[in-house]
Structure 1
Amino acid sequence: MRQLSLFLSAHGGASFALGIHTVLIAWISVAYLHLSPSALAWVQAAALIPSVFAILVAGVFADRYSPKKILMTAYSILAIAYLGLGLVVYFNKLHFWGLLCYAVVAGIGNAFVQPVREKLIALFPKGELQRRISGASIIQFSSQSAGIVLASFSDHFGLYYIVAAQVFAALAAVFMVLSMRFEMDFHRDKARGIIPDIRIAIKAYRADKALTQLLVLIAFNGYMHMGVFLVVLPIIARDVYGFTSVQYGLLQLSFVIGMVAAQWGFVLRSKIQFPGQGALFCLLYSAVVGFALAQEPTLIGLYTLILFWGWVAGSSATHCRLVLQVKVSHKLRGKMMSIYQFVLFGLAPLGALATGHILNFYSLQQILKGMALSSGILFVIFMFSRSLWAVEQK
């Protein structure tokens, strides 16, 4: 039990630092450096593109090496990235290329966290898998919310002190993992090489129609509901509503609160028999959000819609992860999750870059309506094949 507590505490500390990162990287871009939409898109993509390839390596390592060593490495990389940002801020050397380098290093560190976390969630004993996944997510998003709240006051407290808190949280996560005495028996995968291991995972996806459809859904979510979101939300905040850092932080917080609410729903409800169905219905909910945001709602309406969007994103993510956990054997879980994350984060920077450049020719309203329409169309397409729909959690 102590090992689980240390792991979750470390995960919470790292998530707190990630919450600060989520606000600062966008707010520094639009408010301090006054970047154009296309330049903002490159900054957001820089945090995702390197992690796409690092995720594949991370998944293989999660099945082959000690989870503790991988977490130590990942959290140490993140601490170094945050410390670098702190030094740049302290010496007043903020510029586009420096922020780009920071985004790259932070993206690599975050890439190694997810496959290990999924591996450990399945390994810890007791409790339904659904509740373990949601419980870890609640800690993650609650800590992330606290980081977002703190980062939203960067104009009041000073950017340097916010980054210092980020560095402290990351270092605390490193020391908590170092304190773990990880004696849990885990499957040590046979060393075959990274490429052969990845091929095994790809073959497993192709052999199962439901998993193939899951990858299509994840690719769409990464492109539309992650990539588009990363660029559209800061632009809406700056150009449409003229937000301050506090108002933008609250907007990010609304999204995360929605995700936390979704996870509490999974903890409190009974076992989900058909997780694939919930994942597909989230496409329709996303379409509603896109059309509503395109109407330029009032401030209360905007915060409400972003809150609901967070709930949809959290619900979709957990349903999709449940499908994967149900369908995949433990010895392949790290590699399979790395492919899952590769597709999700691989399409996200493409969505961000495309959105940043498309905004030079089309309005925000047109982009949001296009996102909504494509979500509805994909839902209809999936209705013609019931493989993902029929996945059952025994």
Structure 2
Amino acid sequence: MNDRIDDLIDEMAEDAAEDISSPVSGVNEAIGAGASFLATANHWRARRLRRGVKVELPAYLMVQLSWFMAFGLQMVLFPYLITGQQHLHMDGLALGLANMALSAPSVIFLLIGGVVAERADGKRLLIILHFLAAAPALLLALAVSRGQLSYPAMIIYGITIGTVGAFMMPARDSIVNEVVERRMRVGSGVTLQLGVTLATMAQFLAQIGGLILGGYADKRTQMPDWMGGFGIGPIPAEDLLMMQGLTLACGAGFALWLAKGRQVRSSGKGIKSALSDIAEGFHAVRSDGKLWAMTALMFGVGIFVIGAFLVVLPIVNRDIYGFGSDGIRDMFVTFWMGAFVSSVVLSIFKRIKRQGRLLLIAQFLGSTSILAMMWHIPHFAFLCIVFIWGLAAGISIAMSRSIVQDAAPKEKLARVLSIYQLGFMAGAPFGAAVMGALVDLFGPYRIAIVPAGGMTILILWMVFFTPVWNMKGSAWVEHHEKE
């Protein structure tokens, strides 16, 4: 493709030189020289454009890595600073309220974030949001280093990061569509499905790294002999917070390599116009069977899967196996490692014919695997189930994002993505509360049938009453139409 572009430019210059002639001596030579100069300039400009486009996808993946590395650190540090004996040493209610401060802004501002992501320059927005997220982490590091950490400071941190995250999510997720589109224009074989899969891989890998790194905050970990037997930690919390802030700031630097994003021009301004845009986004989701089904599925995942993940698994870890924070770390790392492995496998296949079918099968296998927890099984078998759950989650996240990115109208992409994410994020707190009440009522064994049964019913509805099971991936369709 790139050679064809260069040849076309050269041919245009040659044609220009051959087609134009003049009876005045020397003018033909001058025209030919001018055409040659034009061809050289166009050739240089085309090469520069291709280099800029090619660097965009790696830069986007680095932006993804920086955010989720910091997110993995936060998953460990946030509860550790609130409940840890060396810091605030507060109870479960305080942790619950702090987590609410962290998650509530995402639910409140996510739809507005979708509107802003469409109207603003995506590149500039990512730079600003990364710096805004880095500031509270660095200020928290300063407070910890001076011995001035307080619970109100943690609440302010949670509200700030939660609000920034609500605007970051649609902005970051919608840009991958444009990056892949520009890359395909210069002859790259990267499809939207592959671009989303690579972004998902980067997310999982970065979260695993952040979780592992954050686990060194309170104790020294000895490596096995085959790795050299060296020890790591404990790393002071202020150093890890500093690392979190600097990682986010690096994300702003990587965003500089992105091209200026697509901006949707709106006829109005202010709250009324924003609400009108949000209503248009809901209409787009409701009028498309695939988008509506994906949003409903994510709401179910939030209730049954994430609710069980946040509540049931930690209770099983504590009450059945007697582990503490180290067991939770092993659970999280095992889960995200499974998600990363399935994402790597998916990246091999650029065009999957039945994306929806693969998604629903993975959801079914992952949801029913938890039924094995109804019996007392060894801890290694428990971690194997968590790994299978992670495998299913990796497929589910990559395929559902690909389906939504592909089906959404390009001029409403960020709004549709924010509504899709809202289904997931609104279901998660409700699911956590429901699962918490049910696990107290039924115990950690029998509760497994609730998420498995709930997801099975939802998947059967998706199979028989939505187009997801029989849909074909657009990349596969386009490829076979060309053949």
TM-score by length of 2: 0.74
Matched, 1:304 2:384: yes
2:457 is matched with 377
Q: 1:72 to 1:329 in 2, by over 3 A?
A: same
With 275-284 and 302-311 compared, the bigger mean Cα shift is at 275-284
Per-residue deviation at 1:270?
4.6
Counterparts of 1:342-361 in structure 2, within 5 Å, are 342-361=422-441
Counterparts of 1:1-394 in structure 2, within 5 Å, are 1-27=54-80, 32=85, 33=89, 35-36=91-92, 40-87=95-142, 89-90=144-145, 99-124=154-179, 125=183, 126=188, 127-156=190-219, 161-178=236-253, 180-181=255-256, 184=259, 186-191=261-266, 192=268, 193-394=273-474
2:225 is matched with none
Aligned residue for 2:323, secondary structure, equals coil
Aligned residue for 1:271, secondary structure, equals coil
Per-residue deviation at 1:70?
1.9
With 128-137 and 349-358 compared, the bigger mean Cα shift is at 349-358
Q: 1:155 to 1:165 in 2, by over 3 A?
A: closer
Q: 1:228 to 1:89 in 2, by over 3 A?
A: farther
Separation in 2 of the partners of 1:356 and 1:98? 27
Q: Which amino acid aligns with 2:425?
A: F
Separation in 2 of the partners of 1:280 and 1:26? 33
Q: 1:345 to 1:358 in 2, by over 3 A?
A: same
Contact 2:312–2:439 (Cα < 8 Å) also in 1: no
Per-residue deviation at 1:262?
1.5
Contact 1:148–1:253 (Cα < 8 Å) also in 2: yes
Contact 2:310–2:432 (Cα < 8 Å) also in 1: yes
Q: 1:305 to 1:329 in 2, by over 3 A?
A: same
Between the two proteins, the alignment pairs up a number of residues equal to 393
Per-residue deviation at 1:257?
0.4
With 164-173 and 107-116 compared, the bigger mean Cα shift is at 164-173
With 211-220 and 102-111 compared, the bigger mean Cα shift is at 102-111
Separation in 1 of the partners of 2:459 and 2:170? 28
Q: 1:242 to 1:104 in 2, by over 3 A?
A: farther
Q: Which amino acid aligns with 2:119?
A: R
Q: Which runs of 5+ in 1 are unaligned?
A: none
Q: CA RMSD in A?
A: 2.6
Q: 1:312 to 1:176 in 2, by over 3 A?
A: closer
Per-residue deviation at 1:91?
5.2
Separation in 2 of the partners of 1:222 and 1:253? 20
Per-residue deviation at 1:264?
0.7
Per-residue deviation at 1:60?
1.1
With 149-158 and 120-129 compared, the bigger mean Cα shift is at 149-158
With 382-391 and 215-224 compared, the bigger mean Cα shift is at 382-391
Contact 2:298–2:424 (Cα < 8 Å) also in 1: yes
Q: Which runs of 5+ in 2 are unaligned?
A: 1-53, 221-232, 475-483
Separation in 1 of the partners of 2:260 and 2:136? 32
Q: Which amino acid aligns with 1:167?
A: M
The structure with more radius of gyration: 2
Per-residue deviation at 1:336?
0.6
Separation in 2 of the partners of 1:46 and 1:292? 34
Per-residue deviation at 1:73?
3.0
Separation in 2 of the partners of 1:186 and 1:176? 17
Per-residue deviation at 1:71?
1.5
Per-residue deviation at 1:134?
1.1
Q: 1:98 to 1:362 in 2, by over 3 A?
A: farther
1:101-133 CA distance string (max 9 Å, x none): 433332222222221222221111130111111
Separation in 1 of the partners of 2:61 and 2:245? 14
1:309-349 CA distance string (max 9 Å, x none): 11111211111111112211222111110111111111111
2:227 is matched with none
Contact 1:201–1:332 (Cα < 8 Å) also in 2: yes
Contact 2:367–2:456 (Cα < 8 Å) also in 1: yes
Per-residue deviation at 1:387?
1.5
Contact 1:40–1:231 (Cα < 8 Å) also in 2: no
Q: Which amino acid aligns with 2:380?
A: I
Separation in 1 of the partners of 2:139 and 2:449? 39
Q: 1:319 to 1:367 in 2, by over 3 A?
A: same
Per-residue deviation at 1:307?
1.2
TM-score by length of 1: 0.89
Aligned residue for 1:272, secondary structure, equals coil
